[in-house]
Amino acid sequence: MMKLFGARFLNLDALFKTAILLGFTIFFTQTIITGEALAYVSPKIFPFIKFSAAIMALMAVFSAVDIVRIPRKRPRMTTYTLFALSLALALLFPPAFLGGSDLKGRQVDLGLYRTENGATRASGNLELGRAAEQQRPTGPGEPPPALQGNKIVFTEENFYYSLYLLYREVEYYQGIEVEISGFVFKDASFAADEFVVSRFVMVCCTADMQLAGIMCHFPGSQGLEENTWVRVKGVLQQGTFRGETIPVIIPVEISPINMPDPPYVYPKF
């Protein structure tokens, strides 16, 4: 065995390269085809993944040719071990969907802004709200919220844009009916009747996901378990959180739902 490694007999370097590149090509292709990729990255990364799967396949072919040639280099075992282990973990473990507390650094995004002198202010006013309404078709890539009469229905497609408008124009949307689904998120600092109906928003990949949602004031909050999925129908009011004016839902109906697949929303821009 030592003789095989010692002599320039088998081109191990090319062999390892080929195997790893093929493995990653298979993983990349499979994750896109099965749709599991949505648990890892935003759909806007998909074309890049397809492109690099194609390149890796090409690289694998070129490396395979070298297996029968005289090795020019010794294989770097550490490098190939790092790649092989990553590949094995990716292939052996199906992706998991993250719950509200899996990313420790994330606070739910309630759209507050702090100015330079330390004071905070609530965002939005009526004029801006009207202006935003008129400009809707030129919004940031997502369809405008489905404002049906006096009601906003949050969908996967308009989730982030709808939030964006609600937080920006709190006053304007006051009194409007809202229908939104998400999981129950609670923080130690919340009052007993408070919970946030929230979703993870994925910009690029799982590691950079943010929690976003709307605060609900509901007397039965304590009966709702964290991370359970609910659909909330209610009326939008102005509320306060840590001294800020924020949109708040006064729920009329809360019904349990199954976790959507995928549970994340992917803003487009």
Tell whether residue 113 is a contact of another protein (CB under 8 A).
Answer: yes
Query: Between residue 71 and residue 110, which ones bind another protein under the rule CB under 8 A?
Result: 72-74, 76-83, 85-86, 89-90, 93-96, 98, 102-107, 109
Q: In the set 30, 210, 237, 238, which binds another protein (CB under 8 A)?
A: 210
CA–CA gap between residue 45 and residue 40 (Å, rounded) = 10
In angstroms, what CA-CA distances link 171 with 108, 175, 182, 236, 244? 21, 9, 23, 10, 13
Amino acid at 77: M
Q: What is the DSSP annotation of 90-159?
A: HHHS------TTSSTT---B---EE-TTS-EE----HHHHHHHHHHGGGSSSSPPPEEETTEEE--TTTH
Query: Between residue 211 and residue 250, which ones bind another protein under the rule CB under 8 A?
Result: 242
Tell whether residue 37 is a contact of another protein (CB under 8 A).
Answer: yes
Minimum Å distance from CB 23 to another protein?
12
CA–CA gap between residue 100 and residue 243 (Å, rounded) = 24
Query: Between residue 183 and residue 202, which ones bind another protein under the rule CB under 8 A?
Result: 201
CA–CA gap between residue 258 and residue 24 (Å, rounded) = 33
DSSP assignment, residue 70? P
Cβ atoms within 10 Å, residue 189: 9
Q: Which part of the chain contacts another protein (CB under 8 A), choosing from 69-77, 151-159, 223-231, 255-263?
A: 69-77
Q: Which part of the chain contacts another protein (CB under 8 A), choosing from 5-13, 148-156, 219-227, 249-257?
A: 5-13
Q: Given the complex with another protein, which of 24 and 154 has the nearer CB atom? A: 24
Minimum Å distance from CB 161 to another protein?
9
Output the CA angle 32-33-37, nearest 5 degrees: 30
Tell whether residue 26 is a contact of another protein (CB under 8 A).
Answer: no
Burial class (CB in 10 A: 0-12, 13-18, 19+), 127: exposed
Tell whether residue 205 is a contact of another protein (CB under 8 A).
Answer: yes
Site string for another protein, 150-169 (x = CB under 8 A): --------------x--xx-
* CB burial string 236-246: b at 16+ within 10 A, e below: bbebebeebbb
Q: Which part of the chain contacts another protein (CB under 8 A), choosing from 63-71, 151-159, 176-184, 217-225?
A: 63-71
Q: Given the complex with another protein, which of 91 and 235 has the nearer CB atom? A: 91
Q: In the set 12, 15, 19, 21, which binds another protein (CB under 8 A)?
A: 21
How many positions of this chain bind another protein (CB under 8 A)?
78
Q: In the set 25, 63, 181, 221, which binds another protein (CB under 8 A)?
A: 63
Q: In the set 34, 35, 43, 62, which binds another protein (CB under 8 A)?
A: 62
Contact criterion met (CB below 8 Å) for 212 and 189: no
